[in-house]
Amino acid sequence: MSKQAVLKLDDNEFAFPTIEGVEDEKAVDFRSLRSTTGYVAYDEGYGNTGSCQSEITFIDGEAGILRYRGIPIEQLAEQSDFLESSYMILYGDLPSQSQLHEFRSRVRDNAAVSPLMAEALKGFAADAPPMGVLGSMLGALSCYNPELATNDRAVDLENFDQAAAVAIAQTATAAALAFRSSQGKEGNAPDPSLSFGDNFLHLMFSEKGQPYEAIPEVSRALDLMLLLHADHEQNCSTSTVRMVASGGANLFASVAAGSAALWGPAHGGANMAVIKMLEEIRASGDDGSSFIEEAKSGQSGKRLMGFGHRVYKNFDPRAKIIGKACEELLDKMGIDDPCLDIARNLEQAALADDYFVSRNLYPNVDFYSGIVLRALGIPADMFTVMFAIGRMPGWVANWREIAMNPKMKINRPRQIYQGPALRDYVPMESRG
């Protein structure tokens, strides 16, 4: 028998069962709260609310732990790659040789977007925000692959392998096509001989007669960045994917909604905001110390972007891995990026400053990722797009977890109404 939580309300006592996760996370099961007490639980921002039970990713914010399907992110970063980890995130276990070969081939064979989509991509203004274009394209995948987006769960699940490969592969291709279109350049065709990351760099940067050749350090750094972003439990964008999926919507509609949620500066837009912050500090001639004071005072809404996290109250394990990869990459490439020096100053200062330490504000995944992406030649306005390319496997896996749950109900939170009390309609002639 699970432990019980007893709630005392208006001289009554109500008992609720509890739920324990495999890593000892604990929850009070409030699914009968309203029907037994008439009350709803109020938790603006959902910081204390478990929206689901999931088998995909585990995070321990206090201990700085992140595991995909039980395997620590540090081991995956060292020994796996983006597509192998993506397979495991999607299907639950590390693939056999043949399973991985089949998955890589399926992603590779679905890298080309529909010619109609390629044409549609040319219709955006050159200065269209890349995340706006990406979100439009992800939703449009249901238009170019209607057989994979029927909103009939059984059919959509039957076609899941194909839809997943299309989503993962064509997010990258559409992003590169949009980038080249914004530059007034023709798109490149996917090169099936290249790895996922190298093909993306080829799609982005190859020119006629001058195929882009990635040096091994660049290939490794990009693949690592994508792997580290592949999933992250119930973050804002993934929860959005689950919200949309709970209504029975197809995979493409659900991940399109997730990409919209990722766009904000408090979430996936932070990597771009970090570079903007570092550039502003550099241009001002400040070494970061006066910026830190501004971020602490909250003046003009300034925050130390790339710092803080709703869950991690310790180092984000991804930040440590990216920070190390950043130093190695810039060293190997002989890049002396002054923003890296400023980032180091900010990190050292913040980690010794009680304002940040007392609020458990540590570097998160975004603090160094912008510097790595810039070293790879990715333009800053595409940094959040890179996050979306990396996060796609996690979004797709969460869609599948919802779709495969026969007992899944549509997500429908309640609210506490604080608007005007009952009143009558006032005809126009009687209004003031």
CB nearer ligand SDX, residue 71 or residue 157: 71
In whole angstroms, how close is the CB of 401 to ligand SDX at the nearest point?
17
Give the angle subtended at the CA of 386 by the CAs of 383 and 388, to the nearest 5°: 115
Interface with ligand SDX (CB under 6 A), residue total: 21
User: Pick from 172, 226, 295, 340: which binds ligand SDX (CB under 6 A)?
Assistant: 295
Q: What single-letter DSSP state applies at residue 196?
A: H
| 307 SS3 class | strand
Tell me, yes or no, if 309 is annotated catalytic.
Answer: yes
303 binding ligand SDX? (CB under 6 A)? yes
- Phi, psi for 421 (deg, rounded to 5): -70, 175
Interatomic CA distance for residues 85 and 78, integer angstroms: 12
User: Pick from 56, 172, 218, 270: which binds ligand SDX (CB under 6 A)?
Assistant: 270
77 binding ligand SDX? (CB under 6 A)? no
Q: Are 190 and 112 in contact (CB under 8 A)?
A: yes
67 binding ligand SDX? (CB under 6 A)? no
260 binding ligand SDX? (CB under 6 A)? no
Query: Between 353 and 392, how does the x/- string for binding to ligand SDX read (CB under 6 A)?
Result: ------x-x--xxx--------------------------
In whole angstroms, how close is the CB of 239 to ligand SDX at the nearest point?
9
| Both tokens assigned to 2 | 């699970």
Q: What single-letter DSSP state applies at residue 96?
A: P
- Show Cβ contacts of residue 220 under 8 Å, excluding neighbours closer than 6 positions: none
User: Pick from 116, 143, 215, 266: which binds ligand SDX (CB under 6 A)?
Assistant: 266
User: Pick from 305, 321, 342, 375: which binds ligand SDX (CB under 6 A)?
Assistant: 305
Task: Kindly identify the residues of this chain, within the stretch 196-225, that bind ligand SDX according to CB under 6 A.
Answer: none
Q: Interface with ligand SDX by CB under 6 A: which range of 17-25, 79-87, 303-311, 396-404?
A: 303-311
Q: Interface with ligand SDX by CB under 6 A: which range of 21-29, 165-173, 200-208, 296-304?
A: 296-304
- Give the Cβ contact number of residue 288 at 10 Å: 23
235 binding ligand SDX? (CB under 6 A)? yes
SS3 content of the chain, % helix, strand, coil (to 5): 55, 5, 40
In whole angstroms, how close is the CB of 270 to ligand SDX at the nearest point?
3
Distances (CA, A) of 189 to 170, 204, 331, 404: 12, 10, 32, 35
Q: Which of 156, 198, 231, 366 is catalytic?
A: 366
Q: Interface with ligand SDX by CB under 6 A: which range of 31-39, 306-314, 324-332, 396-404?
A: 306-314
Distances (CA, A) of 152 to 76, 246, 420, 429: 35, 12, 41, 51
CB nearer ligand SDX, residue 270 or residue 329: 270
Return the sign of the alpha-carbon dihedral for residues 332, 319, 70, 409. negative
Residue type, position 371, single letter:
I
Task: Kindly identify the residues of this chain, within the stretch 308-337, that bind ligand SDX according to CB under 6 A.
Answer: 308-311
| Both tokens assigned to 340 | 């890296």
Q: Which of 309, 331, 341, 354 is catalytic?
A: 309
Query: Between 14 and 43, how does the x/- string for binding to ligand SDX read (CB under 6 A)?
Result: ------------------------------
In whole angstroms, how close is the CB of 76 to ligand SDX at the nearest point?
15
Q: Are 76 and 227 in contact (CB under 8 A)?
A: yes
Q: Are 18 and 3 in contact (CB under 8 A)?
A: yes
Q: Which of 88, 173, 102 is nearest to 134 (CA)?
A: 173
Helices and strands of the chain, counted as H and E runs:
19, 6
Q: Are 68 and 57 in contact (CB under 8 A)?
A: yes
- Show Cβ contacts of residue 36 under 8 Å, excluding neighbours closer than 6 positions: 14
Tell me, yes or no, if 366 is annotated catalytic.
Answer: yes
Residue nearest to ligand SDX (CB): 308
User: Pick from 153, 267, 276, 332: which binds ligand SDX (CB under 6 A)?
Assistant: 267
| Both tokens assigned to 376 | 């790879």
In whole angstroms, how close is the CB of 224 to ligand SDX at the nearest point?
15
The gap between the terminal CA atoms of the chain, to the nearest Å, is 63
CB nearer ligand SDX, residue 12 or residue 358: 358
Residues that bind ligand SDX (CB under 6 A): 232, 235, 266-267, 270, 295, 298, 303-311, 359, 361, 364-366
Looking at the annotation, which residues are catalytic? Answer: 309, 366
